[in-house]
Structure 1
Amino acid sequence: MTVAIMFQGTGSDVGKSLLVAGLARALANRGLSVRPFKPQNMSNNAAVTPDGGEIGRAQALQARACRIEPSTDMNPILLKPQTDLGSQVIVQGKIWGNTNTNNYWQKRHELMPIVLESFSRLAKGADIVLVEGAGSPAEINLRSGDIANMGFAEAADIPVILIGDIDRGGVIASIVGTGELIQPQEKKRIKGVLINKFRGDLNLFEPGIRVIEEKSGFPSLGVVPFFKQARKLPDEDAVSVQSKQRPVIKESDKKGLDEKIFISVLLISRISNFDDFDPLIAEPDVELTFIHPGDVIPASTDLIILPGSKATISDLLFLREQGWDIDIAAHVRRGGHVLGICGGYQMMGRMISDPDGIEGDVRSIDGLNLLSVDTVLTSKKTLTKVSGIDHLSGEGVFGYEMHVGITTILSSALHTTAMLNLEGIDDGVCTNGGRISGCYVHGLFSSDSYRSAFLSRIKNREASSVSFENEIDQTLDALAQHIEESVDIDQILILAGYK
């Protein structure tokens, strides 16, 4: 019998991913062999697995919490939104096809055997599998053919713990209401509740816990205080990035802050792999702002970053609709720095062509003409981990590539050099001494030495003491301790069938 337990939420963004990561590290610290699993995920923030597949970023972080390499079985179905109604479907790490919302919901029951196959394979040799749901089981309009929540729990015959987010309010109603909306046999499968993101005096919430237990019949397994260090771990959903309303730095605010490096990241509509910027945010002398649609790129910006995109052509059109192309051109004239990563790199070239309609009806579009390159989108997807050196500094870099398309340097290009050398092969381009550059490598800034060299090109600075990769592991350990102190882990193990 597979030892497993599933964590479902009363809604999206209640902290399921973080709690599973913390519990995974806590159990790994106890010496257990732990595996994370999410049947179906929807995110444009993905990670490359060692076998050349892709999964949701949250499952990659959870694998790290377990101290194991990520695998495609940890997230067999990944939906990557390309439009409001359409997504690219990744099945066991590879492109399965593109689908619209209606078509997918009609066919998703066909994917259950694949999901169960991955779950069974992953569970072999594991002491326990921690399963994460998606959204809420109370979305009863989506129950038919469900593979993400109760549909999977029933098929795999595993118990469920329900998570409620007290920080957003209405946690009592959301938990009790979830129990009332789901089917009686599904309600019996819920063995307890966790209250997440609590702030304040727990004594004041004790009557609330009693009401939840009495009205829902679900015993409380713990109240988890708000974990402030969560901001140091990668976010999975663009929603979390979009909600970070960082103040825009105005020119007048920069007075007396000459040591700071001001970075503006364009929040395009289909932004992907936005955890690329977490190492920059961690630097004490960096002020990084996500520029929201309708906002002007501040003139005080030192570096503009064009991030990855799941729909490069439509996001280039979106960028122009915001007037950001004009802001970028003015920024370049002032001597500012620009970096494009993956889709952003493609946008910076002379032209993007899509002869096979990979992204839609627009077959070609002029780029921003900041780099002398052309890109042709192709159906073949590059998914690989990479390492090498930065040509300008000689510092080591590592990361991964995840893209469709081939980018070539124009024969007429002047003053253009390769940005990186990856295992003997030149990658990316730069000009103006590295002031304008682009490449396909995600995760570049996780390399401490490269990040320091790159920022020093923008402004003279002392190298910081930030060790980004070590900080992630330290944060996971702190999260595990946080969970140990607030959650009845022994009871969870009993419910899962381990004890």
Structure 2
Amino acid sequence: MKRFPYPTLMVQGTTSDAGKSTLVAALCRLLWRSGVKVAPFKPQNMALNSAVTSDGGEIGRAQALQAIAAGVAPHTDFNPVLLKPSSDIGAQVIVHGRVRAEMDARDYHQYKTVAMQAVLESHARLRQQYDAVIVEGAGSPAEINLRDRDIANMGFAEAVDCPVVLVADIDRGGVFAHIVGTLSCLSPSERGRIIGFVINRFRGDIGLLEPGLEWLERETGKPVLAVLPYLHGLYLDAEDAVQPVAPRAGAFRVVVPSYPRMSNHTDFDPLRVHPEINLRYVRQGEAIPGADLIVLPGSKNTRADLAWLREHGWFDAIRRHLRYGGKVIGICGGFQMLGASVADPEGVEGAPGTSQALGLLDMSTTLAGTKRLAQVSGEFAFGQNDIPIDGYEIHMGVSEGVAMAHPAFCIDGRGDGAMSADGQILGTYLHGLFDNPRACAALLDWAGLHGAQEVDSAALRNASLDRIADAAEPLLARLLELAAR
């Protein structure tokens, strides 16, 4: 394919989790395979799973995945506005990869006019550099209360005058009502932008669906561009919801507390698919099970999540786990929780103050307004210390104390994290800890799973991107056919 007839094409959804992120990734992979220079784009994203970009900024995890699909390095222009919720009403506002402010919903609503300029600047730069820009909307364009100053859905589409594909998830039920109801909430010009529909996650006899598709096309005057199958066993980075994990009897038990502001749970995706591991997220109200390894994940609000751990019995459970010889890993905010205290004198994550932490490592952490963002690499500082490790850092704190004299890793010539004197506790600021197959196997060996199989998560991810692209080939053909009329 020499060119794609839609310089900017937007994918919007009738609901959250309708399949927008996956469909954008599929189209990016298809166009890349066809020789089209393509970039993903999401004007505004709200997510606690993020990634560090090639230009040293921060974007939503889905756009980093879409960049892999498109064969390009992640860049801040792919997601110019990122909101990272720190409470039920407030979020950290990140523009062009950098923190601008902490805002509540009302303040951010007023800020949207500024944010829109950042969005349009990024889009303009991408249009100059790429043959096609595939855009992902956010939530649904039918959210009436968010229509004013919208930058995420039709507000953006109207501003850049681009066509829209509307995707709906049939697996959750009510797909025809979702589509027709969404259209009824749009203005005439917005409805006119929608060039067709995609029915996502279909399983069953397509013949039974066809009468509904014919009705939908008669009712709306718009074509159903594709019906995409429900694909099982995909390995794709999730942006919001924690992916369900099927229990494996007799496997090595890894337990992760799912606290309210858990961030970057994609750290655990390689463990989720590992055939020798039974990974379990423990949510509020669930009993804390026995484990071989407990991992404390990152947090967008470390002090609040520390309070949650204490309230739900994790302080005692972790100490009991250690007394019985279990291992503990703390990642980023989870690493900070392992120390004596976490102080927030400037109110970076909430009200200023200091919280008592688990007291398992001789160190303390002070939160500050400057966020460290970096892609890093190095090697283990314990065991077989020639083992390579790589990943990324996203944190706003500095940890200091005796424990830091015994780092877990050597990163770019400096120590990172800490290893306890008894070898039971490991802390690190490094995200993506388990992504490298050799590093993952070494960490599991330290934790007690000796001779663990190496799982290549990058290969699994690329294979899944090819699967969703293969499934979406009929959609690309229909788009080309539609543009040729």
Opposite residue 448 of structure 2, the aligned amino acid is K
Q: Which runs of 5+ in 1 are unaligned?
A: none
Matched, 1:466 2:466: no
Letter paired with 1:276: D
1:490 corresponds to: 477
* AA in 2 matched with 1:84: D
Secondary structure of the structure 2 residue equivalent to 1:168: coil
Partner of 1:361: 351
Q: Residues 262 and 463 of structure 1: is their aligned pair in 2 closer, same or farther, counting only changes over 3 Å?
A: closer
Does 2:261 correspond to 1:270?
Answer: yes
Superposed counterparts of 1:58-457, under 5 Å: 58-230=62-234, 232-237=235-240, 240-241=241-242, 244=244, 257=250, 260-299=251-290, 301-392=291-382, 393-394=384-385, 395-410=387-402, 417-457=406-446
1:16 aligns with 2:20: yes
CA contact (8 A) 2:7 2:132 kept: yes
What is the distance in 2 between the residues matched to 1:470 and 1:433?
36
Q: Is the 8 A contact 1:109 1:146 kept in 2?
A: no
SS in 2 for 1:449: helix
Give how far 1:350 is off: 0.5
Whole-angstrom CA distance in 2 between matches of 1:408 and 1:365: 16
**Residue 217 (structure 1) shift:** 2.1
Partner of 1:480: 469
Task: Give the 3-state SS of the residue equivalent to 1:96 in structure 2.
Answer: strand
Looking at structure 1, the residues matched to 389 and 119 of structure 2 have their Cα atoms a distance apart, in angstroms, of 35
TM-fit CA distance, 1:460: 4.5
Q: Deviations over 1:371-401 (max 9, x none)?
A: 1111000111000011000112221000000
Give the conservation status (yes or no) of the 8 Å contact 1:352–1:365. Answer: yes
Instruction: Provide Cα deviations, 1:309-357, integer angstroms capped at 9, x if missing partner.
Output: 0111111111112111111111111111110000000011011111111
Contact 1:246 1:290 in 2 (8 A): no
Output the CA distance in 1 between the equivalents of 2:484 and 2:23: 19
Q: 2: CA distance between counterparts of 1:35 and 1:359? A: 33
Secondary structure at the residue paired with 2:427?
strand
Q: SS in structure 2 opposite 1:441?
A: coil
Unmatched 5+ stretches in structure 2: none
Q: How far does residue 470 in structure 1 lie from its aligned partner after superposition?
A: 1.6
Give the TM-score, by structure 2 length. Answer: 0.95
Once residues 435 and 498 of structure 1 are traced to their aligned partners in structure 2, the CA distance between those partners, rounded to angstroms, is: 64
Q: In structure 1, what is the Cα distance between the partners aligned to 2:162 and 2:217?
A: 21
Contact 2:252 2:449 in 1 (8 A): no
For residues 277-331 of structure 1, what are the alpha-carbon distances to aligned partners after superposition, in whole Å with 9 as ceiling and x for unaligned?
01111211000001111212212x1011100001111111111121111111111
- Structure 1 residue matching 2:118: 3-state secondary structure: helix
Q: 1:200: Cα distance to partner? A: 0.9
AA partner of residue 435 (structure 2): S
Residues of 2 paired with 1:37 and 1:177: CA distance? 26
Deviates more, 1:286-295 or 1:433-442: 433-442
Q: Classify the secondary structure of the residue corresponding to 2:15.
A: coil
SS in 2 for 1:135: coil
Identity, % of aligned positions: 46
Matched letter for residue 67 of structure 2 = A
Deviations 1:432-464 (A, max 9, x none): 453211110000111111111111122243341
Scaled by the length of structure 1, the TM-score of the pair is: 0.93
Q: 1:107 deviation in Å?
A: 2.5
Q: 1:79 to 1:177 in 2, by over 3 A?
A: same
Query: Using a 3 Å threshold, how does the CA distance of structure 1 residues 2 and 203 change in structure 2: closer, same or farther?
Result: closer
Comparing 67-76 with 463-472, greater Cα deviation is found at 463-472
Aligned letter for 1:457? W
The one-letter code sitting in structure 1 at the alignment partner of 2:272 is I
| CA-CA distance at 1:471 after TM superposition | 1.6
Preserved contact between residue 346 and residue 352 of structure 2 (Cα < 8 Å): no
Deviation at 1:82, TM superposition (A): 0.2
SS of 1:197's partner is: strand
Letter in 2 for 1:452: A
Counterpart CA distance in 2 for 1:455 and 1:55 is: 29
Matches of 1:483 and 1:278 in 2, distance apart? 24
Supply the RMSD in Å over aligned alpha carbons: 1.8
CA contact (8 A) 2:444 2:452 kept: no
**Distance in 2, Cα, partners of 1:162 & 1:109:** 25
Distance 1:498 1:418, change over 3 A: farther
What secondary structure is seen at the aligned counterpart in 1 of 2:134?
A: strand
Change (3 A) 1:182 1:460: closer
Query: Does the aligned pair in 2 maintain the 1:81–1:88 contact within 8 Å?
Result: yes
Q: Deviations over 1:205-238 (max 9, x none)?
A: 00111121122222110000011133x111001x
How far has the Cα of 1:245 moved from its partner? 7.2
SS of 2:152's partner is: coil
Say if 1:2 and 1:405 are closer, same or farther in 2 by CA, change over 3 A: same
Shift of 1:262: 0.3
> Which amino acid is 2:478 matched to?
Q
Indicate how the Cα distance of structure 1 residues 364 and 498 shifts in structure 2: closer, same or farther if over 3 A, else same: farther
Rounded Cα–Cα distance in structure 2 between residues aligned with 1:276 and 1:222: 33
Counterpart residue type for residue 479 of structure 1: I
Task: Determine if contact 1:371/1:437 at 8 Å carries over to the other structure.
Answer: no
Question: How far is 1:492 from its partner?
Answer: 2.1
Contact 2:9–2:164 at 8 Å: present in 1 too?
yes
Matched position secondary structure for 1:296: coil
